[in-house]
Amino acid sequence: MKNEVLQVSQSSVAQALAADYFCIYYVNVDNDKFIEYSSSPEYRALGLPTMGDDIISFARNNFEEVIYGEDQELFLKNFVKERIIASLDAHGSFALVFRMMFGNVPTYVNLKVTRMIEKEAKHVVIGISSVDEQVRSRLAYEAAHQASMTYSSVAQALAGDYFSIYVVDPQTDRFIEYSATEEYDRMGVEKEGGDFFGLSRRNLERLIHDDDRDRFMKVFTKERIMSILERDGSFTMKYRLMVDENPTWVSMKATLLDDKDGRHIIIGTNNISAQMNREEEYKKQVAEARTSARNDFLANMSHDIRTPMNAIVGYTNIAKSHEDIPDAVMDVLNKIGSSSHFLLSLINDVLDISKIESGKMQLSPGRCDLNDIFRRIEDITALQAKNKSLKIAYDRSTIRHTLVEGDELRIEQVLINIISNAIKYTPEGKTVDIIAEEEPGEGGKNMYTFIVRDTAIGINREYLPYIFESFTREEKTTVNRIQGTGLGLAITARVVELMGGAISVKSEPGEGTEFTVKLTLPALESEEKTAPEETDGGELSGRRILLAEDNEINAEIAVMTLEQFGIETELAKNGRIALDMIKNKGESAYDAVLMDIQMPEMNGLEATRAIRALGGGFASLPIIAMSANAYDEDVRDCLEAGMNAHVPKPFDPDELIRLIKKNILK
């Protein structure tokens, strides 16, 4: 009776346990025969046999029908008799988790094999139970944990380069700061709360750089940002924050994120100061390279144009020097001379603006007599006005101190440009007034005001703000018929600025224009001036000059010009030959040397240094550069090499003779 009760109890317990299993099999280990003890309706719906001769073959033959495709390989690899026995011997059980298909739904199950307790130990029990909920919960936890770890790692890595990272709820405007640097924390910005956009605008209005404030405030509104995010998915803006009173470039990037947790705006503020500095340095290097390339091109162009121009101007001057030239021929020669002068002025304008824009134009201040400038200006402009039948008046009655410190060439250039413009645009019969005034200043400096007033066509108010810009001219039929580069006033304004002065203009269409230039110049004590130098060249007759020139035409023009003044000339076709001739013939062989710069074998600068290195009388031998290299730095290079003066090609015969006399007749 006792055994019967025990058997009933064991059977009841087994049945009770079977309720938690999809199925339970009894298996004879010796012959692999099996019988199903119990199964659930879901399991029976699979239509599998309830008994058989080979459990292993049974399972492996039916796996494709009942096991989820992604887990079939796992099952076949592990549900092998040898593996099961080995696990039973080692651990007393064998377990395998995989997914079975119940009603086309993959469900995680646990297949567990356990030995029955019997003397022969010939049987095992195989139970298949559902572990779907537990496995899926565990996988979800692991995925969430992994995602959390990933987001955390990414955020920590990004935080090193970001001032701050915010998460904003666009529905409520509530926000929380994810991370921030110490510098950002010191700004006193809220870390969480509501009204993100309102708070950010108030904070950044006080923290953003003055130059970026208006642009930022115009763009950074909730409506504007959300509109861009809805359209593009992200928004980026660069601006400068004042971090510890230092402007720091940042890039703010906003991204719209939609996921299972809802919709959020992720806003990161990235420190890009190093990047912006690199970009600025790169832009600077590119700009400098472009400027250098442009300047090299213009210098070469100037040299190549001046060389043939020297022939045109030189031969024209030589032809005009002959007596008994028919009036018609003289008229042609004068027109050639005028056209040459105009072409040369265009070249000079282009070179000047190039030097100004590249920062290479330098002033050469020194003793300057305003009376000399006024006399030269009057000589030039009076002739221009006469040729156009204009009335021109000069008034410098208030000038008391004419001896000043300044760049005589640039002061004259400024005034000539403005006066020539007035004459150019003033119709026949009208008037041009030139007024110079002086007002006492402080510290031995006086304010000089130069006014050029015309009764010409005037300038439209719309064009006045652009009148001093490069390559601009007013679009008028009457103006466009007048030749010019549109550089004259731009050069004038830059030169005035370089001298620390100011230039202004006022005009009314049809009534005329008035330009005003103000310069503050230190006054110098008056010195007794010598009489102007004569350029008849009589004292130069019989003097010997060595001409170093590789261009035959330029050499011929120079020789013919010098012969007009009785100067004897010898020719050297490059610097090497010139150096040898000077060494071989001795210190007193030549009264002066006219030296070209660009020559083969040895250029003019190298030859000059070699001559000076000879010492003795060679160190004081007058050497005058006569070159198509006409930049300020070209002149400076010549003087630094040991030359006494520089004459640009095409050369002015009077200026050349003046310099020769100045250096020979000491």
**CATH code at position 26:** 3.30.450.20
| Residue 628 is assigned to a structural domain of this protein | yes
Q: 468: pLDDT confidence band, cut at 50, 70 and 90? A: confident
Residues 509 and 656 in one domain: no
Give yes or no: residues 387 and 463 share one domain.
Answer: yes
- % of the chain beyond a pLDDT of 90: 24
* Mean pLDDT confidence for 68-79: 90
In a domain, 610, yes or no: yes
Query: Would you mind telling me the total number of residues written for the chain in this entry?
Result: 666
Of 497, 522, 547, the one marking the end of a domain is 522
Question: Do 547 and 518 lie in a common domain?
Answer: no
Q: Is residue 653 included in any domain, yes or no?
A: yes
What's the start-to-end Cα distance of the chain, in Å?
Answer: 154
**Choice between 154 and 62, residue whose per-residue pLDDT is larger:** 62
Cα 159 from Cα 155, distance rounded (Å): 6
Q: How many domains does the chain have?
A: 4
Instruction: Assess contact for 156 and 57: CB atoms under 8 A.
Output: no
Q: Mean of the pLDDT values across residues 581-589?
A: 91
Q: Which has the higher per-residue pLDDT, 430 or 310?
A: 430
Question: In terms of Cα–Cα distance, which of 140, 133, 149, 179 is closest to 260?
Answer: 140
Residue 32 lies in a domain: yes
- Tell whether 515 and 650 lie within a shared domain: no
Domain edge (last residue) among 79, 113, 130: 130
Residues 387 and 460 in one domain: yes
The pLDDT of residue 207: 87
Q: Can you give the pLDDT at residue 282?
A: 87
Q: What is the identity of the amino acid at 153?
A: S
Name which residue leads in pLDDT, 385 or 370: 370
pLDDT at 625 over 90: yes
Both 496 and 565 in a single domain?
no
Angle 604-613/632-641 helices, nearest 10 degrees? Answer: 20
- The pLDDT score that the predictor gives to residue 381 is 81
Banded pLDDT at 118 (limits 50, 70, 90): low
Residue owning tokens 């060249």:
537
Mean of the per-residue pLDDT values for the chain? 82
In a domain, 450, yes or no: yes
For residue 309, what pLDDT is reported?
80
Q: Is 47 exposed, middle or buried (0-12, 13-18, 19+ CB in 10 A)?
A: exposed
Q: Is residue 147 domain-resident?
A: no
Domain CATH code at residue 400: 3.30.565.10
Q: Are 559 and 615 members of one domain?
A: yes
Range of the domain at 106: 14-130
Residue 605 lies in a domain: yes
> pLDDT for 78-115, tens place per residue?
999 999 988 888 888 899 999 999 888 899 999 999 98
Residue 413, CA atoms < 13 Å, CB-side half-sphere: 21
What pLDDT is stored for residue 358 in this prediction?
64
One-letter identity of residue 170? P
The answer on 123 and 24 residing in a single domain is yes
Q: Are residues 542 and 650 in the same domain?
A: yes
Residue 531 pLDDT class (50, 70, 90 cuts) = very low
Are residues 115 and 241 located together in one domain of the fold? no
- CATH code assigned at 618: 3.40.50.2300
Burial of 571 (0-12, 13-18, 19+ CB in 10 A): middle
Query: The pTM is what?
Result: 0.47
Task: Provide mean pLDDT across the span 149-171.
Answer: 65
Residue 544 is assigned to a structural domain of this protein = yes
Mean pLDDT lowest for which of 114-128, 277-291, 352-366, 609-623? Answer: 352-366
Q: Which residues pair with 250 in a beta bridge?
A: 239, 271
Mention every residue, 6+ apart, whose C-beta is less than 8 A from residue 35.
Answer: 25, 26, 50, 51
Q: What is the pLDDT of residues 469-509, one digit of tens each?
A: 755 545 443 444 444 445 678 888 888 998 999 999 998 88
Answer yes or no: do 32 and 102 share one domain. Answer: yes
| Residues 615, 483 share a domain | no
